[in-house]
Amino acid sequence: MPNPFHASFGVSPPLLVGRESVLEDFVEALEDGPGSSGRASLYTGARGAGKTVMLNAVEDRARALGWLVVSETATAGFVDRMTQQHLPKLLREFDPEAVQRRLKGMTAPLNIGRVDWDTVERHVVQVGLRNQLEVLTDLLSEHGTGVLITLDEIHQNQLAELREIATTVQHAFREGRELAFAGAGLAASVADVVNDDVLTFLRRAERHSLGSVPRTEVERGFREPIEAAGRHIGAEALQIMVDGTNGYPFLLQLVGAQTWRLHPGQEEITTVDAAEGVARARLRLGALIHEPALSAASDIDKRFLLAMAHDDGPSKMADIQRRLAVDVNYASQYRLRLIAAELIYSTRRGYVDFALPYLREYLRDQATTDL
Ligand SMILES: Nc1ncnc2c1ncn2[C@@H]1O[C@H](COP(=O)(O)OP(=O)(O)OP(=O)(O)O)[C@@H](O)[C@H]1O
Ligand SMILES: [Mg+2]
């Protein structure tokens, strides 16, 4: 039987769990009309927390309400891709005469006999982001819908283009247009961007941190796709799989996929399969998550993390400092760096813990191998 689980970045899961209320907030913002604060929403979280699939879900819900969607990733040139590809393509679906009527006066008037799309398109591309969105939202307002712009992997590297988008969206909001914006990125990257002076609308955006998924939801995330695909799992095996995820969305798919493929032709997923699936998922997690997450860490960052890996739970800052033989200021400076990189987080005053599941075990294994 085909495996319903896929551990691939950006690929929507068979069942998106634990995100209902965040999704509802967004749908309400679309329905509430211009001025609703959720019409600018930002989703943050660690690698594999489900930011991209959250944007996918938001887009699906918007489309279901008749909205048009412009979906981009914040890599260099995204504004040009919007103005030269996405928006002309969306406008092409409308009657060229209607588009031309809206375009009149935005640049030199079009004086042509027969209106065909080629003539209009040249004009559309010329007028730029703000005018294109004006034309599109004008046309859509006749149908009672609007435009959703989604932007994934928001990062400071693209600050100039982000400013352009921000200014345009801010303007459209002020004019009461039917426009919505949903962005996603690692919390640290989003924080950098949001602190930029020009991007006030992003600062005011509703920020949702996509954290771990509660146990009962993880259970659903396994059981429902398994049963829908024609297999069965008992309570004990299910608990093993749930325990193996730590509530981490990426691991939900990885454990699911690894467990399923052991005996895809058998109806029952046994406790033995579940335990083996969890073990295999953990092995793959290192290459897929921990290595990339640590790639930007300096040697001192890594020493700090290794000092934490001595503990079985949250580490006391005073212990880390002692293990590294450094002073308080030095240790707290690295603490802040690692929190910003989303490798650790503060559990309570004076304590930190790993932000990624099994990072502790991964570091311990690495340390043993290095020795
Ligand atoms: N709420 C969820 N329920 C079930 N599976 C999920 C959920 N969220 C994410 N996943 C799964 O986890 C994996 C990672 O999701 P996604 O690619 O959206 O992560 P991301 O936060 O965008 O990661 P990155 O920072 O690397 O871009 C995918 O396989 C996805 O299907
Ligand atoms: Mg992503």
Q: What is the pLDDT of residues 72-95, one digit of tens each?
A: 999 999 999 999 999 999 998 888
Q: How confident is the model at residue 108 (pLDDT cuts 50, 70, 90)?
A: low
pLDDT at residue 244 above 60? yes
17 CB under 6 A from ligand 1? Answer: yes
Q: Which residues contact 156 (CB under 8 A, 6 or more apart)?
A: 189, 192, 193
Contact status, residue 136 vs residue 91, Cβ threshold 8 Å: yes
Amino acid at 19: R
Q: 239: CA distance to ligand 1 center in Å?
A: 21
pLDDT at residue 112 above 80? no
pLDDT at residue 102 above 80? yes
Q: What percent of the chain has pLDDT over 70?
A: 96
Helix (H) or strand (E) holding 40: strand 40-44
pLDDT at residue 196 above 80? no
Considering only residues 41 and 46, tell me which one the structure prediction assigns the higher pLDDT.
41
Question: In degrees, to the nearest 5, what angle opens at C-alpha 192 toward C-alphas 205 and 70?
Answer: 50
Ramachandran region of residue 28, left (φ > 0), alpha (ψ -120 to 50) or beta?
alpha
Residue with tokens 């962005």: 183
Across the strands, what pairs with 348? 351
Question: In degrees, to the nearest 5, what angle opens at C-alpha 304 toward C-alphas 298 and 308?
Answer: 140
pLDDT digits over 141-186, tens only? 988 999 999 999 999 889 999 999 999 999 999 999 999 999 999 8
Q: What's the pLDDT score for residue 166?
A: 92
Question: Nearest C-alpha to atom 2 of ligand 1 is from which residue?
Answer: 16
Q: How far is CA 188 from CA 25, 132, 315, 337, 364, in A?
A: 23, 32, 22, 10, 26
Q: 52: CA distance to ligand 1 center in Å?
A: 6
List the single range of 11-15, 192-196, 259-263 with lowest mean pLDDT: 192-196
Q: 357: CA distance to ligand 2 center in Å?
A: 17
Instruction: Determine the atom of ligand 1 nearest the C-alpha atom of 56.
Output: 18
pLDDT at residue 109 above 60? no
